[in-house]
């Protein structure tokens, strides 16, 4: 059963990985504005075409 | 491609979508309502940014109203730049600008493509909800002033106010809250996992004791960040309130967390049992989540404003006959300044011109313009309605009347420290639970069953933790605040929400609240006029800068100008001239010697062409749509009072709703409004002041609730508790009715959670409740309460036909 110790270690390190990812994304401001990106993603890349004209 | 002006009807402006009433500006086979809109299109077209028009139809805002010239020379001053620019290195500057005109996805697209308009702009990023634009620019390529001018040119003039830009603190607070929730959630989940073996056994799940210990100590380690970081705010707030010998809702929570932790540590060390670490971190996680939900700030609105955000940032002064644009802080008493048409007088000053017209509606609520003469004092906040006028500064901006008015209401913040009713119930409940737990504990102690004593103490506290109760109020309030904000009513916080549901007296302001701000409605009453007559009236009214002439000129709008001679104006009477060989007069009834037969008190301008009086223009306030039916609905349930700073011209109309017995008053100064409200409060009424301008700011503070009615991009917003979008005024009765259901939902949730508690408690007191049951019951009750509150508030919102 002592393999359980290893398993605790594994599960915790995976969870900590996610926690760090969360903290980093918060720090980078990913959750500061949750509205604008949803609009921004809908813009076409048309501006590149018009540049070439 | 030349410009062509043609007469047309029902054409919509390609840029802003407004109807092009009479004049259409043609350009590039597109129609525009004014040359302002056309020039925005021109700039965008030249820079190949016409994609702007394909994302949303007619995305622009009409440029015809923004004719106020703006002066940005002060932006070249070093001090101003230091205030506005928040980061600067050798080549680049970063600036946050608030842009009130931002309203659709086209705006976002254009503003984020600014770099295509000028090579000096490195990048720009929009925060849509805050209506904020972050620009990174190379200050050697484009100066701050040029950047602002460019934005103004494309129709997005930034609202330059130092105050609006210091919102970074809120961001940091929000992030910290997110960290706390994330960490608490992480620890809670993992501790739950680690507690599983303990639930199903008596601390001997594994044969090897060191394995049991490994689980226990890992859980203990995980609980440390919860206790010291996530739960810190509960401890800090309880400590502060206990120091003042008072008690608030954080005290029992902090107590429960602390006791659960200490007992768990004790148990882990002594009896090698897990204890209650999972419950402890669960409480912290759910409480933080609930509070985050309740306290979500409305990014785009600020409830607290500083006076300087109303006044212009810069003034034009005359120094040795040269006009200079400097920032407001640098003016001195005795400086001569120029205030142009539509500009705001920055500080109390003395008029140097012979006379000028001012709009004091912002300061006093009076809608009619006031004429001031040489050497009279003009108070800060007045809007200049004549041509340019010169003034000398008589007081520093920090000592002006408007600042005094502002500061006097800042000093009286009285309704902040009220504990809400629901919190009081929680407090009593917590006290009872504390006593029950201790009684059960003592009982088992006397029976010499120490294990039982501890277990009952903790299970009572954990199971009956005010958590479910507290969450029901935080989540219900959060739901309501969100639903209301989706319907145009923004409530500052939960305390304001509760107060709002108790209001029984509505105190209205007239100008800007019942009527539309800055818009008067003009009607012509009299004979049918032909086109020539209109042209003549237009030509004559065009000559005068009198506000009434200007209003009439705007009403007729574009017709043809005719040849005019012998123009004369008579002060206080009217104007006359010869046009097309006919004598035409515009003026008062006395001057034209006609009888005013109408039985109202509106301002009237009579028209006389060639000795015949053809009729008169009637100038009255334009009421908001459906306002009278709204007031009638409200009147059946609430006491309605009107305190207007304006004259009593509209008395006839308003007496249908408001009675003098209830306190209908005209010509109210801000102080009188406050006194009237105080009197109503002393009679036991709970009052809500509904107004729009700074003249109501004092009344906002004195009344139990201050509700500001705002137009779309109105930034003349005083401190208040509730903000209502002007177009939503018509749904006020149903919103007010909906509000009251917050209490109903709370009671339902309370009953449900009390049922949980009674079941849980009765087991816990007997010491029979296995930790596994407690551990299941606790999150179950929490989740079911949260779900119940969520669905009930949506159900009631639907029944009131609100947007959800």
Can you give the three-state secondary structure of B411-422, one letter per residue? CCCCCCCCCCHH
Q: Do residues B271 and B473 lie in contact, with contact meaning Cβ atoms separated by under 8 Å? A: no
Cβ–Cβ gap B186/A15 under 8 Å: yes
Return d(Cα B673, Cα B223) in angstroms, integer.
Answer: 55
Chain B partners within 8 Å of A12 (Cβ): 190, 218
Phi-psi region of B512 (alpha: psi -120 to 50; beta: other; left: phi over 0): left
Burial level of A53, CB count in 10 A (0-12/13-18/19+)? Answer: exposed
Least confident among B253-267, B555-569, B706-720: B706-720
Interface of B with A (CB under 8 A): 48-51, 55, 105, 108-109, 112-113, 116, 126-130, 171, 174-175, 178-179, 182-183, 186, 189-190, 193-194, 206-208, 211, 214-215, 218
CA of A3 vs chain B CAs: smallest distance (Å) = 10
Q: What is the mean pLDDT of residues A18-40?
A: 87
Cβ–Cβ gap B108/A36 under 8 Å: yes
Three-class SS of B270-297 = HCCCCCCHHHHHHHHHHHHHHHHHHCCC
Residue B463 has pLDDT above 60, yes or no: yes
Cβ–Cβ gap B127/A33 under 8 Å: yes
Please report which confidence band the pLDDT of residue B242 belongs to, taking 50, 70 and 90 as the band edges.
Answer: confident
Cβ–Cβ gap A33/B175 under 8 Å: no
What angle, rounded to 10 degrees, do the helices at B494-502 and B741-765 form?
120
Q: Which of B49, B26, B48 is nearest to B37 (CA)?
A: B26
Chain A to chain B Cβ contacts (< 8 Å): 76
Chain A partners within 8 Å of B206 (Cβ): 1, 4
For B309, phi and psi rounded to 5 degrees?
-75, -10
Q: What is the mean pLDDT of residues B679-706?
A: 82
Interface of A with B (CB under 8 A): 1-2, 4-5, 8, 11-12, 15-16, 18-19, 22-23, 26-27, 29, 31-33, 35-36, 39-40, 42-44, 46-47, 50-51, 53
Nearest to B179 among A12, A16, A26 (CB): A26
More confident residue, A36 or B311: A36
More confident residue, B293 or B642: B642
Cβ–Cβ gap B207/A5 under 8 Å: no
CA of A42 vs chain B CAs: smallest distance (Å) = 9
Nearest to A36 among B116, B126, B194 (CB): B126
Beta strands in B599-675 (DSSP E): 603-609, 612-623, 639-642
Please report which confidence band the pLDDT of residue B417 belongs to, taking 50, 70 and 90 as the band edges.
Answer: very low
CA of B179 vs chain A CAs: smallest distance (Å) = 6
More confident residue, B648 or B375: B375
Please report which confidence band the pLDDT of residue B5 belongs to, taking 50, 70 and 90 as the band edges.
Answer: very low
Q: Which of B255, B191, B197, B252 is nearest to B223 (CA)?
A: B191
Chain B partners within 8 Å of A51 (Cβ): 48, 116
Q: Do residues B168 and B272 lie in contact, with contact meaning Cβ atoms separated by under 8 Å? A: no
Rg, chain A, Cα only? 21
Sheet bearing B23-27, strands edge to edge: B4-7, B23-27, B30-32
Mutate to test the interface with A, among B182, B189, B209, B482 (most CBs of A within 10 A): B182
Residue in B with minimal Cα distance to A45: B51
Residue B37: per-residue pLDDT: 80
Nearest to B51 among A12, A39, A47 (CB): A47
Q: Give Cα B512 to chain centroid, integer Å.
A: 16
Residue B87: per-residue pLDDT: 80
In this prediction the pTM is 0.70
Residue in B with minimal Cα distance to A21: B182
Task: Give the SS3 label for residue B578.
Answer: strand
Chain B partners within 8 Å of A27 (Cβ): 175
Q: Which residues pair with B705 in a beta bridge?
A: B688
Return d(Cα B454, Cα B457) in angstroms, integer.
Answer: 5
Please report which confidence band the pLDDT of residue B467 belongs to, taking 50, 70 and 90 as the band edges.
Answer: low
For chain B, the residue count is 804
CB atoms within 10 A of CB B209: 11
Chain B partners within 8 Å of A25 (Cβ): none
């Amino acid at each position: 059963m002592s393999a359980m110790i290893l398993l605790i270690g594994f599960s915790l390190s995976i969870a900590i990985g996610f926690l760090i990812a969360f903290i980093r994304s918060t720090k980078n401001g990913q959750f500061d504005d949750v509205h604008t990106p949803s609009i921004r993603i809908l813009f076409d890349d048309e501006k590149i075409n018009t540049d070439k004209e | 491609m030349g410009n062509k002006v043609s007469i047309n009807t029902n054409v919509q402006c390609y840029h802003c979508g407004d109807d092009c009433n009479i004049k259409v500006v043609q350009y590039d086979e597109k129609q525009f309502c004014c040359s302002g809109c056309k020039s925005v299109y021109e700039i965008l077209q030249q820079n190949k940014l016409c994609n702007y028009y394909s994302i949303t139809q007619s995305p622009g805002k009409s440029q015809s109203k923004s004719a106020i010239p703006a002066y940005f020379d002060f932006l070249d001053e070093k001090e101003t730049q230091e205030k506005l620019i928040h980061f600067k290195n050798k080549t680049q500057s970063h600036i946050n600008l608030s842009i009130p005109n931002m309203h659709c996805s086209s705006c976002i697209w254009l503003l984020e493509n600014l770099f295509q308009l000028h090579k000096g702009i490195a990048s720009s990023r929009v925060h849509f909800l805050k209506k904020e634009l972050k620009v990174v620019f190379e200050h050697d390529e484009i100066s701050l002033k040029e950047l602002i001018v460019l934005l103004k040119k494309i129709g997005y003039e930034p609202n330059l106010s130092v105050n609006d830009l210091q919102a970074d603190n809120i961001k940091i607070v929000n992030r910290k809250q997110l960290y706390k929730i994330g960490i608490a959630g992480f620890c809670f989940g993992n501790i739950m996992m680690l507690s599983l073996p303990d639930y199903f056994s008596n601390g001997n799940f594994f044969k090897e004791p060191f394995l049991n210990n490994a689980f226990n100590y890992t859980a203990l380690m995980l609980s440390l960040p919860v206790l010291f970081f996530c739960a810190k705010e509960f401890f800090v707030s309880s400590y502060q309130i206990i120091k003042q010998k008072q008690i608030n809702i954080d005290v029992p929570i902090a107590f429960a967390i602390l006791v659960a932790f200490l007992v768990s540590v004790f148990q882990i060390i002594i009896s090698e049992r897990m204890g209650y670490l999972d419950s402890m971190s669960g409480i912290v996680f759910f409480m933080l989540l609930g509070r985050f939900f309740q306290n979500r700030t409305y990014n785009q609105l600020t409830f607290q404003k500083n006076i300087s955000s109303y006044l212009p940032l810069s003034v034009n002064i005359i120094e040795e006959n040269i006009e200079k644009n400097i920032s407001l802080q640098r003016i001195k008493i005795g400086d001569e300044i120029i205030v142009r048409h539509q500009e705001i007088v920055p500080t109390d000053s003395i008029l140097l011109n012979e006379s000028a017209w001012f709009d004091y509606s912002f300061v006093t609520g009076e809608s009619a313009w006031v004429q001031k003469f040489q050497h009279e004092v003009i108070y800060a906040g007045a809007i200049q309605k004549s041509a340019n006028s010169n003034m000398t500064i008589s007081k520093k901006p920090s000592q002006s009347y408007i600042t005094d008015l502002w500061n006097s209401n800042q000093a009286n913040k009285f309704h902040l420290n009220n504990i809400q009713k629901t919190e009081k119930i929680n407090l009593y409940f917590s006290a009872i639970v504390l006593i029950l737990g201790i009684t059960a504990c003592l009982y088992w102690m006397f029976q010499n069953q120490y294990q039982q004593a501890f277990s009952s103490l903790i299970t009572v506290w954990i199971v009956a933790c005010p958590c479910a109760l507290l969450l029901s109020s935080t989540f219900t309030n959060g739901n309501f605040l969100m639903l209301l904000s989706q319907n145009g009513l923004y409530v500052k916080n939960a305390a304001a929400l509760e107060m709002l549901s108790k209001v029984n007296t509505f105190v209205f302001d007239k100008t800007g609240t019942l009527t539309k701000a800055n818009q008067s409605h003009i009607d012509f009453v009299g004979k049918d006029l032909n086109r020539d007559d209109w042209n003549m009236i237009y030509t004559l009214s065009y000559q005068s800068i009198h506000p009434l002439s200007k209003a009439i000129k705007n009403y007729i709008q574009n017709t043809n100008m005719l040849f005019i001679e012998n123009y004369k104006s008579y002060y206080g009477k009217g104007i006359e001239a010869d046009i097309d060989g006919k004598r035409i007069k515009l003026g008062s009834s006395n001057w034209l010697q006609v009888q005013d037969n109408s039985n109202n008190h509106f301002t009237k301008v009579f028209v006389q062409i060639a000795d015949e009086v053809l009729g008169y223009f009637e100038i009255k306030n334009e009421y908001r749509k459906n306002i009278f039916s709204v007031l009638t609905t409200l009147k059946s349930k609430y006491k309605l009072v009107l305190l207007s700073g304006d004259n009593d011209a509209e008395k006839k109309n308003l007496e249908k709703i408001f009675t003098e017995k209830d306190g209908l008053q005209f010509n109210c100064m801000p102080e009188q409004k406050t006194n009237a409200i105080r009197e109503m409060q002393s009679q036991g009424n709970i009052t809500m002041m509904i107004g729009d301008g700074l003249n109501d700011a004092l009344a906002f503070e004195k009344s139990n609730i201050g509700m500001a009615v705002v137009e779309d991009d109105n930034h003349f917003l005083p401190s208040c508790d509730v903000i209502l979008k002007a177009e939503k005024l018509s749904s006020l009765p149903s919103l007010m009715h909906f509000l009251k259901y917050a209490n109903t939902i709370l009671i339902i949730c309370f009953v449900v959670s009390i049922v949980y508690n009674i079941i849980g408690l009765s087991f816990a007191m007997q010491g029979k409740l296995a930790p596994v049951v407690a551990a299941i019951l606790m999150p179950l009750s929490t989740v079911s309460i949260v779900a119940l509150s969520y669905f009930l508030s949506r159900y009631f919102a639907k029944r009131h036909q609100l947007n959800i």
